[in-house]
Structure formats: structure tokens, C-alpha cells
Amino acid sequence: MNKDKQLLKQALRVSTQFWVYRYLICARTDGAGKAEAHRELCCIFIAVFFDLNIDGVNTLSRCYQEIHEATQELTGKLETAIGYPIDRDVDIDYEDLAPKFFDKFYELALAAIKKYNRR
């Protein structure tokens, strides 16, 4: 990965950190919080890659829907994708899971954005 792509990925990692942790914290018990975090993550990626203000992202657009659906591959399979423990009696190591979640979300969102841009 070249330096510019590394810097972009790091900027996205930093700017989405709150929403990544919120998503992981809500994943077991708060469906509405989980959905909000997923929406915000998608909006941040769209805003960055399509040069928009975050408030200018239309969650009804085809682009948003494609990125949202692509990243649901991760959000619907946390236990197998990043080792998120579903068992409520198991403590969650957020420091370990957050980078794994971000890396997978980044990969899926980027693939969806590239696919959308080819149209």
C-alpha cells in the first residue's frame, strides 16, 4: 500500500474510532445503537470518498445502499469475521476487536465504493 493510501486509511481509522467502538459495544444488546453506528460508519466513508459533507450523504441513495449492504457481510457475522464473542458471559476485548472490525469494514466498504464507481 502506498503512503497516500496508508494515510487515508489511518485518517479513516481515527475518524471512525468512536463509531467502531460504539458498534462493538452495542452489538450484543442495543440494536438501535448498532444500526446508528453502522449508518454513521457508512456515511463517513461516503463523505470521504465522494467529497461530501457528512450531512450531505443521502442514506436513500443507491451508493449508500450498496456500501451498507456490502458491510453487512461483516456486521451480520461478527463472531466468525473478527472473533466477537456472542456469549454474554464472556468479556469482550474491545482493544483487540476494534482494529479487526475497522480493517474488515474498510476492506468491504472500499470494494463497494470501487464497484459503485465503475458504473
pLDDT digits (tens, 9 = 90+) for 67-90: 999 999 898 899 999 999 988 888
Question: Could you tell me the pLDDT band of residue 118, with boundaries at 50, 70 and 90?
Answer: low
Question: Could you tell me the pLDDT band of residue 101, with boundaries at 50, 70 and 90?
Answer: very high
Q: What is the pTM of this model?
A: 0.92
Which structural domain, as residue segments, surrounds residue 42?
Answer: 3-117
Q: How many CB atoms lie within 10 A of CB 78?
A: 21
Domain tally for the chain?
1
Residue 115 has pLDDT above 90, yes or no: no
Residue 95 has pLDDT above 90, yes or no: yes
* Residues 44 and 106 sit within 8 Å (Cβ to Cβ): no
* Residues 70 and 77 sit within 8 Å (Cβ to Cβ): no
